[in-house]
């Protein structure tokens, strides 16, 4: 056997090993992806709640009235 044939056989064996090991790693990646998805869903829920609170504050009549008073006082200062 010459050196070229040995190299080709080694590459083929290495490829087969990599392909068979990849199948063993996929469930771990799927579990990690599922965990990341649930983490992101939790963050999204928290962010939606915070946005709802901010919207309630901004649309509150007292907030709008205070902002108008602040704008009026700035106009007088200028």
Each residue of 9-37: pLDDT tens digit? Answer: 888 888 888 888 765 655 667 788 888 99
Separation of alpha carbons 57 and 67, rounded Å: 12
Q: For 37-63, write each residue's pLDDT tens digit.
A: 999 999 999 999 999 998 888 788 787
**pTM summary value:** 0.47
Q: What is the model's pLDDT at position 52?
A: 92
According to the model, what pLDDT value does residue 24 have? Answer: 63
Distance CA 49, CA 55 (A): 10
Q: Token pair for residue 22?
A: 């990849």
pLDDT at res. 5: 82
Domains held by the chain: number? 1
Burial of 14 (C-beta count, 10 Å sphere; 0-12/13-18/19+): exposed
User: What residue numbers bound the domain in which 52 lies?
Assistant: 3-77
- pLDDT at position 45: 95
């Amino acid at each position: 056997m010459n050196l070229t044939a040995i190299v080709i056989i080694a590459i083929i064996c290495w490829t087969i090993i990599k392909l068979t090991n990849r199948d063993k790693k996929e469930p771990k990646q799927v579990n990690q992806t599922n965990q990341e998805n649930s983490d992101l869903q939790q963050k999204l829920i928290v962010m939606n709640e915070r946005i709802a609170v901010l919207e309630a504050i901004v649309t509150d009549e007292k907030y709008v009235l205070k902002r108008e008073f602040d704008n009026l006082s700035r106009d007088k200062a200028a």
